């Protein structure tokens, strides 16, 4: 039996007095796309940041392909090279051209030669319709373009697992589609992904499984058809009703 | 109905051009009145002839100018060498103070103590104590050359100030930038080197130049430990001729060097401000160039 792409066991995380994650258990197979939904503050972002080792965890274990990444003495940088993360606020490097944003990781963390990194980056930028922006600085790009560059930057590391943290929340509505299309393409290509999102229609289309987080726990999970059409938990129903009332999900 | 062309309400004469001419006229007249007034008051002072003789002596001025300029090269050399060392040492101090985590506490503590100490003490005091004290120890292999100690002392003093400028720059870079660098698998040092410091240093160039204007002037302080530079030379000339005009010559030398640097700093600051304002505009949703939808 091959190990799961990602498995999380009894994960706890507190910020001071505030317990944000209260025992998360999750198993993700290769090529699975997991949508994490739930109200703001339910722990979606924190979970992703823990998986990327940005936040140290208080209890539990996280394993990637059977290797415990939260064990003592693990080389954090080596793990992060295998786990890409894209942030809500893009976080591109403003002093670098698009191409240099994309190649920084491969050149410095993977020690690829500059030409090889450039060529690989151009292939990726081409694929996502950003080739002509390669020599521009991020502030010349629209929000949607910036976020696509941020996704390409994460992909350039050829990660085993990609974490998307509300990647469309900071975008104007008309720019959301171009970013979601990129994510769709990645899902179709078999990328294993964990996606924290408020875009319920998107989650329904793309996810192989939806996890509803509530107060730091995965309250309910299942295929999108089940979660969105006939949620078992009252809290899930309540949450989805609020989303439907806000006009963010057609039923 | 055709739209009527826009007419200024105040009539054709008060356009922006006429307005500009009027301000220029007012500025000219008020400048002449103020400065003319000062000249009249000063030249009619009872001590004016004596003052003219002691401070504004033409022949002595022309005699001392080339001499002080000649010694000014010592200040320039001091300044240039110290500046490079300060830029490096100040950055090292700032980086040491920014190291996170409990392991680096002693390093942070030492760097903080250093910065506090050298900012707390008057510069002249440090120059006397180190510049005269250490050579007096006659330690084996330690140079006793005044110029060497002048460079050391200026470097020690100014690095403390400059490290604080750097540190402000480092802290002005949002933590999400470091998080983004680390999430790519870059080490802490790589994140600092390629992501944080380039942004930080760009932001602090104007305040750094400001400190260097101070350093340019403070090179005269090392005259106290025996370096014969422009100020010491001026004192020698003043004593020899029993006339203060050499000070005027020296003052002019500093003005010629320092004012352009000050103007340049202001220019950079203004440019930085403009860039930020326009940067905000680019980032604002209404000005974004709509991205084409991906296929």
pLDDT tens sequence across A4-59: 899 999 999 999 999 999 999 999 999 999 999 999 889 999 999 999 998 999 99
Average the pLDDT over B163-169 and give the result.
95
Q: Is the pLDDT of residue B67 over 70?
A: yes
Q: What domains sit in chain B, N to C, each tagged with a CATH number?
A: 74-227 (1.10.3720.10)
pLDDT the model gives residue A41: 87
B122 touches B160 (CB < 8 A): no
Residues of A in contact with B179 (CB under 8 A): 54, 87, 91
**Considering the domain boundaries, does residue A250 fall inside one?**
no
> Which residues, at least 6 apart from B158, have a Cβ–Cβ distance to it below 8 Å?
B82, B86, B90, B211, B214, B215, B218
Q: Is the pLDDT of residue B163 over 60?
A: yes
Average the pLDDT over B195-221 and give the result.
91
Interface list for A 160-189 with B (CB within 8 A): 172, 174-175, 177-179, 181-182, 185
Closest-CA residue in chain B for A172? B285
pLDDT the model gives residue B85: 97
The verdict on a CB contact (< 8 Å) between B180 and A143 is no
Average the pLDDT over A235-246 and give the result.
89
Q: Is the pLDDT of residue B290 over 50?
A: no
Q: Which of A52, A89, A177 sits opposite B293 (nearest CB)?
A: A177
- Give the number of other Cβ atoms within 10 Å of residue B265's Cβ: 19
Closest-CA residue in chain A for B283? A139
pLDDT the model gives residue B269: 82
What is the ipTM, given to two decimal places? 0.89
Q: Is the pLDDT of residue B283 over 50?
A: no
Task: List, for residues B84-98, the tens digit of each pLDDT value.
Answer: 999 999 999 999 998
Cα A59 to Cα A11: distance, rounded to the nearest angstrom: 6
Average the pLDDT over A237-251 and give the result.
81
**Considering the domain boundaries, does residue A203 fall inside one?**
yes
pLDDT the model gives residue B101: 82
**And the tokens for B266?**
């202001």
User: Can you give the residue range of the structural domain that contains A233?
Assistant: 6-245
B155 touches B114 (CB < 8 A): no
Q: Which of A77, A89, A157 sits opposite B187 (nearest CB)?
A: A77
Task: List, for residues B11-48, the tens digit of each pLDDT value.
Answer: 555 567 778 888 999 999 999 999 999 999 998 888 88
Report the alpha-carbon angle B220-B226-B229, nearest 5: 40
B81 burial class (0-12, 13-18, 19+ CB within 10 angstroms)? middle
- Phi/psi at A196 (5° precision): -85, 125
The pairing of strands A161-165 and A83-86 is parallel
pLDDT the model gives residue B289: 36
- Domain CATH for A127: 3.40.50.300
**CA-to-CA dists, residue A96 to A137, A140, B172, B173, angstroms:** 6, 12, 18, 14
Closest-CA residue in chain A for B174? A91
Task: List, for residues B223-245, the tens digit of each pLDDT value.
Answer: 888 888 899 999 999 888 888 98
Cα B200 to Cα A40: distance, rounded to the nearest angstrom: 33
Cα B173 to Cα B197: distance, rounded to the nearest angstrom: 9
Cα A141 to Cα A133: distance, rounded to the nearest angstrom: 8
Residues of A in contact with B186 (CB under 8 A): 77, 104-105, 108-109
B126 touches B50 (CB < 8 A): no
**Considering the domain boundaries, does residue A251 fall inside one?**
no
User: At B292, is the pLDDT very low, low, confident or very high (cuts 50, 70, 90)?
Assistant: very low
Judge whether B36 is closer than 8 Å to chain A, CB to CB: no
Task: List, for residues B109-162, the tens digit of each pLDDT value.
Answer: 999 999 999 999 998 898 888 888 888 888 888 787 888 989 999 999 999 999
> Which residues, at least 6 apart from A30, have a Cβ–Cβ distance to it below 8 Å?
A2, A4, A5, A192
Judge whether A154 is closer than 8 Å to chain B, CB to CB: yes
Length of chain B in terms of residues written = 295
How many separate domains does chain A show?
Answer: 1
**Considering the domain boundaries, does residue A1 fall inside one?**
no
């Amino acid at each position: 039996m091959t190990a799961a792409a990602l498995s999380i066991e009894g994960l706890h995380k507190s910020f001071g007095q505030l317990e944000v994650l209260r025992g998360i258990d999750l198993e993700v197979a290769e090529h699975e796309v997991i949508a994490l939904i739930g109200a703001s503050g339910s722990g979606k972002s924190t979970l992703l940041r823990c998986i990327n080792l940005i936040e140290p965890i208080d209890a539990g274990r996280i394993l990637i392909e059977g290797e415990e990444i939260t064990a003592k003495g693990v080389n954090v940088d080596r793990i992060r090279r295998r786990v890409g993360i894209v942030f809500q606020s893009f976080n591109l490097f403003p002093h670098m051209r698009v191409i240099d944003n994309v190649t920084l990781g491969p050149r410095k963390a993977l020690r690829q030669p500059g030409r090889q990194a450039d060529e690989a980056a151009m292939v990726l930028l081409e694929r996502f319709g950003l080739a002509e922006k390669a020599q521009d600085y991020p502030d010349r790009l629209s929000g949607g373009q910036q976020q696509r560059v941020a996704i390409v930057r994460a992909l350039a590391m050829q990660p085993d697992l990609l974490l998307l943290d509300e990647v469309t929340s900071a975008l104007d509505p008309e720019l959301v589609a171009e970013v979601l299309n990129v994510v769709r393409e990645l899902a179709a290509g078999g990328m294993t992904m964990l996606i924290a999102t408020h875009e319920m229609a998107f989650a329904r289309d793309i996810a192989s499984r939806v996890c509803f987080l509530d107060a730091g726990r995965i309250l309910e999970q299942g295929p999108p058809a089940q979660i969105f059409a006939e949620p078992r938990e009252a809290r899930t129903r309540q949450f989805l009703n609020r989303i439907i009332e806000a006009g963010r999900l057609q039923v | 109905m055709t739209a009527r062309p826009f007419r200024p309400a105040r009539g054709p004469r008060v356009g922006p051009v006429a307005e500009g001419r009027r301000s220029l006229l007012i500025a000219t007249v008020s400048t002449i009145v103020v400065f003319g007034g000062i000249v009249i008051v000063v030249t009619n002072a009872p001590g004016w002839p004596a003052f003219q003789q002691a401070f504004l002596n033409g022949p002595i001025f022309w005699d001392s100018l080339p001499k002080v300029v000649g010694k000014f090269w010592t200040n320039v050399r001091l300044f240039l060498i110290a500046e490079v060392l300060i830029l490096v040492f100040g950055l090292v101090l700032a980086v040491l103070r920014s190291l996170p985590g409990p392991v680096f506490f002693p390093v942070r503590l030492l760097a903080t103590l250093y910065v506090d100490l050298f900012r707390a003490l008057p510069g002249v005091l440090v120059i006397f104590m180190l510049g005269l004290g250490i050579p007096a120890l006659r330690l084996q292999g330690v140079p006793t050359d005044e110029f060497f100690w002048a460079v050391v002392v200026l470097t020690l003093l100014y690095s403390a100030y400059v490290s604080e400028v750097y540190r402000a720059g480092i802290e002005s870079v949002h933590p999400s930038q470091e998080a983004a660098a680390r999430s790519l698998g870059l080490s802490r040092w790589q994140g600092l080197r390629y992501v944080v410091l380039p942004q930080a240093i760009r932001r602090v160039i104007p305040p750094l130049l400001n400190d260097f204007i101070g350093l340019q002037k403070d090179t005269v302080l090392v005259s106290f430990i025996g370096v014969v530079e422009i100020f010491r030379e001026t004192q020698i000339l003043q004593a020899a001729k029993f006339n203060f005009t050499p000070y005027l010559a020296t003052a002019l030398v500093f003005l010629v060097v320092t004012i352009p640097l000050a103007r340049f700093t202001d220019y950079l600051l203004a440019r930085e401000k403009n860039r930020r304002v326009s940067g905000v505009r680019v980032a604002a949703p209404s000005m974004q160039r709509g991205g084409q939808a991906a296929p």
